[in-house]
Structure 1
Amino acid sequence: MARLSVNINKIATLRNSRGGDNPNLVQVAKDCERFGAEGITVHPRPDERHIRYQDVFDLKKIVTTEFNIEGNCQEQKFIDLVLASQPEQVTLVPDVLGQITSNHGWDTIANQQYLKEIIAVFKNAGIRVSIFVDPVVEMVEAAATTGTHRIELYTEAYAHNYAVNKEDAIAPYIKAAEAAHKLGLGINAGHDLDLQNLQYFAQNIPALDEVSIGHALISDALYYGLENTIQMYLGKLA
């Protein structure tokens, strides 16, 4: 069964909209774990429009499952933050400054040397590394030579096409996952996975280690409540 890591960026967005501390990010992280989440994910950005850098240190003190920090490793401030906070996992995402949300994986061929160097930095600090990739076998194969422990399959295309033709939507992900598993890479996944498409994805990617879900899960929690929603998502992974 794949682990469920809850991305709490949207909780931070709500908090920041009023300038106070409601909802309290630390308490929400504790509650997510108490309700069954097996990890907490954050994705800090330079403008701190949701997760603040101080949040990372506050969360590190209380997260008892897996703490996963996503972000743009081409920013020195992000590198320093990860090394100082020592999460269990860092997920490297090729964002650009001002990007609303992540929208593509690494070109692991063109960025091979850079990825080798930056992954070594985190590995030498004892942090597990995952890199964001599109479901392209060649990109997975090149990822395997960077030294990364895992890949995270970028699932927006799957989610977008699921309602149209779920067999076609999942096909490139099966091929990418098979290649990753054969090469000894762990497999994470995330972006636009939800209660409608998660179960089918998990059933067809048997080597799946972890999914990171934020926007859909937090949105569903407005209707179903946070505890019930987390249980519903765990049920889709069972």
Structure 2
Amino acid sequence: MPRQQSPEQVFADSPNVWFEEYATRARVSPDGRWAIYSRRILDLQRGREAKERVWPGLTEQRGAAFGSRGELVLLGTRGSNTGWFTQAGGSPTLLPLPPDATPQWSPDGGEVAFSRAGATDSVFAGPLGSARAYPVAGVVTGFAWLPDGGSLVVIALEPRGASTLSRLDLASGHATVVARDLDAPTLFSPVAVAPDGRRAYVALAGSGAPSPEARHEPHANRQLGIYEVDLGTGNRHAVVPAP
């Protein structure tokens, strides 16, 4: 069994941020070199913000994602158009994606999946411009492609406050529950999948079900750790404990 490496800090906000950044998402590029955090592009090798990576041409930039080839795709405004843009051909080109989408391209770059702020009970997947809606039980807070490109893992918030991690087969539309009663963030809960497709990684406040009493305690310890979830059994354990 390979030796597990200790966590290493690659970037820190200065000064520290507070509750305003609660809904911030982070995404790592396919090659592991870059990350998107709070609308910024980070160089993970050098541990710094890479402002030079944000290409010009938009009057307003409100978000970023990694495209079908790992290139930078920006959410912003150009003229009268607001939405997701690529820099194909040397100038910003509007993509056929809803402005409220949070896109992730499939491993082979042939399809795109996204959730929408205006349709929180569904996840969308398919060719760019003709993605299909897949209903989800609960509010979609995170998702990721599996390496085979034919399935997604989706985390959704249930009305009772717990989250469920499911495996969604795109051909059939059938969702299989992997793990229930996850104590995950309630707004955005990013998911990552191991290269072999057997494990997922999610941020949780604990290994058990969320405690209603603790959630209503003003000074409760709700720091998040990173947990590994076995996609075959649903078993989970912390790989990066909460600070």
TM, length-normalised to structure 1: 0.30
Q: Point out the structure with max Rg over C-alpha.
A: 2
Between structures 1 and 2, the one with greater helix share? 1
Between structures 1 and 2, the one with greater strand share? 2
Higher relative contact order (CA 8 A, sep 6+): 1
TM, length-normalised to structure 2: 0.29
